[in-house]
Structure 1
Amino acid sequence: MTGSPVGAGRAEVDAALVLLARLGVRPEDLVGAGGGRAVVPTFAEYVPVVAAAVGAGTRRVYGSYWNRVVEQWGARRLDEPSPSEIARLAETLRARRVVRANARGGQSTSEHLIAALRCVYRHAVADGLIGEGDNPARKVPKPRRAPSTRGAVGAERLAEINQVAATTGDDPALDTLLLRLHTETACRRGGALALRPCDLDATQCLVLLREKGEISRWQPVSPTLMRHLLRHAEERGAPRTGQLLRYRSGRPITTRRYDYLWKRIGQHLPWVAAQGVSTHWLRHTTLTWVERTYGYAVAHAYAGHTDRRGGGETGATITYVRASHEEVAAALVGLVAESHPLAPLPGVAPGPSPGETNAGNSC
């Protein structure tokens, strides 16, 4: 008669671990195996779940890449593609990309595809659909990012851009306001499009910018720009908690307005079209000038950068030399040569703020 089974000894356990290692199976993979194991969904099933869980900015950046993944692998389960297949898909999309005048070899296409898949797999790990070690996207390195061709625009060139915007097109008032807003604040397009009337602190001439990474910051603006923003909101019927920047019809603008604006400017200024100058060049222009004139700490704050990706001496140093609103305002005063409530020009008393005649614009 056979006796009752007893627990395995040390030798048997070691032998089992060796066998599992040869099979590429981890002990934790066996936990919960069987009927209780989660069913791994297909890309067509799971990508919409991830898209609904992320913010609008992430959806905008990764959406087109998720669509390509679903087109190629919609019926496949998340645990089926290998790292080499992901690398091959990234290369395929890079080869099929639309080549623009300012293209840099398609590295950004591969980078965004890998990042989009990493986002999907991060959610799958968090949902318990796959193990952390089963994430194939983590094993695919992103391509080295090519140096940016963007740069600061010289004062004379910037004047040419503003002149064309002010004298051509179907809404020069809107276009010059956009250029002034981006030049003064160095904000990104998303920050400008997210601006609301209730984000204007007219008393202190500050605007609340909400940009990528769900980061918000109060940015000083000149009294002149504040007056134009308030007037624009009033004349174009912007709701207090709705988008501020609008067409004459009252309809909110989108990124298409920027596309139209720079295409038009490029038609009048060949160098703009040749170099692919865009709104982000204004950010480079302002931040370069601020850094050269007022130092790295002020430029760091002016840009709205954070230290989340920090590390090394730069990230540690900026913790101790963080610039204040007053210092950023002082840089703005130097940029626009106009007194500001937080940083008056030397020898010039600050005039009445736009808020004294436009009350009630706080959230």
Structure 2
Amino acid sequence: MTAAAELEAARLLLERLGFTPEQLLQAAAATVPTVGEYIATITSSMQHSTLRVYGTYLRCIEDAWGKRVLTEPTAPELRQLAEQTKHNAIVRRNSRGGRSAAESLIAAARYLYRRAEEDRYIRPDNNPARQVAKPRRLASTRRAISHNKLAEIVHVAATTGNDPHLDALLLRLHIETACRRCGALALRPKDLDPEQCLIFLREKGESVRWQPISPTLMQAFLDHIAERHPTPAVKSGPLFRYRNGRPVTRRRYDSLWTRIGQHLDWVARQQISTHWLRHTTLTWVERHYGYAVARAYAGHAEPDGRIGQTATYIRADIQEVAEALAALSGEPHPLAA
């Protein structure tokens, strides 16, 4: 049956049932929520980490389209909204013309409409976010920090501020493990394995791994817990705490790098942050122990089959990561050969 014949058959069926095509469209629209209603629905069930990534840009979408039916916005309108977001992006010293804001808005739109597809409010071929490409991501300006510059950073952190012990402990954790900020803040006393000098890291994308640390850092963690945790029996709360027992938050990192930048002009000029420490450690590991060990050290996901079957065999285990850490820290590790 041809398309024209199918349409004619559908028209005749509607006439027999006493409906018009317009009535069907109105009925379908009545069951689809508005953009604002749907955003409110999905944000109530989003994980905190996901909401932190998409929340700002979902609010931008809600401000622009909140009262419109979810199926109404089109791909050209999404492109226009992305350009508007790019134009209105806050200008910082490390800004790149709002490209990141436009990319983040499109990513939030893709998340929104992917959920709408799952809830069957929209079909994949009618998804406007699928038809809009993200701006090409520019190369990162982050790089490995030289040994003497890294020493300057650690010295300032350990000799200034209202809690240099805490700041030095945080920096050593990031230098030894190359973990992300979220991994450090999620660390709990029960995530420590003192016997094998391992910590259990939980980072973005719900990734988890056991990461070796030096015996010196492990002992520093145990001392920190004994000194600052109000109830030693409670092991599920955040590990890092202030002297009064309050858990450390992301704001501690912000104030730490602001203070370091006040003492070291080059840190402020180049917008050095915690993630630069991850670049520094992983660059060193890759240069001395190869790509496979660096990938395991970073906690990156295993590659898929698109890059070749040989990658299946190019993987490092925790003992090799421990060997790299032992060389980096200058201390023997229980798991290193």
Q: TM-score, normalised by structure 2?
A: 0.91
**CA distance, structure 1, for counterparts of residue 103 and residue 177 of structure 2:** 29
1:336 aligns with 2:332: no
How far is the alpha carbon of 1:16 from its aligned partner?
3.5
Correspondence for 2:100: 108
Matched, 1:283 2:275: no
Counterpart residue type for residue 168 of structure 2: T
Q: Distance between the aligned counterparts of 1:140 and 1:310, measured in 2? A: 27
Displacement of 1:34: 6.8
The aligned residue for residue 177 of structure 1 is 169
Q: Give the corresponding residue for 2:146.
A: 154
| Post-superposition offset of 1:321 | 2.1
Displacement of 1:247 in angstroms is 1.1
Residue 165 (structure 1) aligned to one of 157, 166, 176: 157
In the aligned structure 2, how far is the partner of 1:35 from the partner of 1:245? 56
1:298-313 aligned at under 5 Å gives the runs: 298-307=293-302, 311-313=306-308
Q: Which residue of 2 aligns with 1:252?
A: 247
Larger relative contact order, structure 1 or 2 (CA cutoff 8 Å, min sep 6): 1
Which residue number in structure 2 is paired with residue 317 of structure 1? 310
Letter in 1 for 2:271: G
Aligned residue type for 1:15: A
CA distance, structure 1, for counterparts of residue 334 and residue 263 of structure 2: 38
Taking the TM superposition and a 5 Å limit, the aligned residue runs for 1:84-163 are 84-163=76-155
**Mapped contact 1:297–1:318 kept (Cα < 8 A):** no
Aligned to 1:219, the other structure's residue is in SS state: strand
Q: Deviations over 1:28-86 (max 9, x none)?
A: xx9xx579747111121111222123322111011111111111211111111111111
SS in 2 for 1:198: helix
Is the alpha carbon distance of 1:120 and 1:310 closer, same or farther for their aligned partners in structure 2, counting shifts above 3 Å? farther
CA distance in 2, matches of 1:140, 1:207: 41
Q: Structure 2 vs 1, CA of residues 332 and 144 (structure 1 numbering), >3 Å: closer, same or farther?
A: same
Between Structure 1 and Structure 2, how many residues are aligned? 320
Q: Which residue, 156, 179, 187 being the options, matches 2:179?
A: 187
Q: Which runs of 5+ in 2 are unaligned?
A: 10-20
DSSP 3-state at the match of 1:117: helix
Q: CA deviation at 1:15?
A: 2.4
Aligned partners of 2:182 and 2:219: how far apart in 1? 22
> Between the two proteins, what is the percent identity of the paired residues?
57
Matched AA of 1:275: Q
Superposition deviation, residue 185 in structure 1: 0.4
Residue correspondence of structure 1 range 224-243 to structure 2 within 5 A: 224-237=216-229, 239-243=234-238
Greater share of residues in helix: 2
Distance 1:36 1:90 in 2: 31
Please state how far the C-alpha of 1:19 moved relative to its aligned partner. 8.7
The CA distance in 2 between the partners of 1:94 and 1:34, in whole Å, is 35
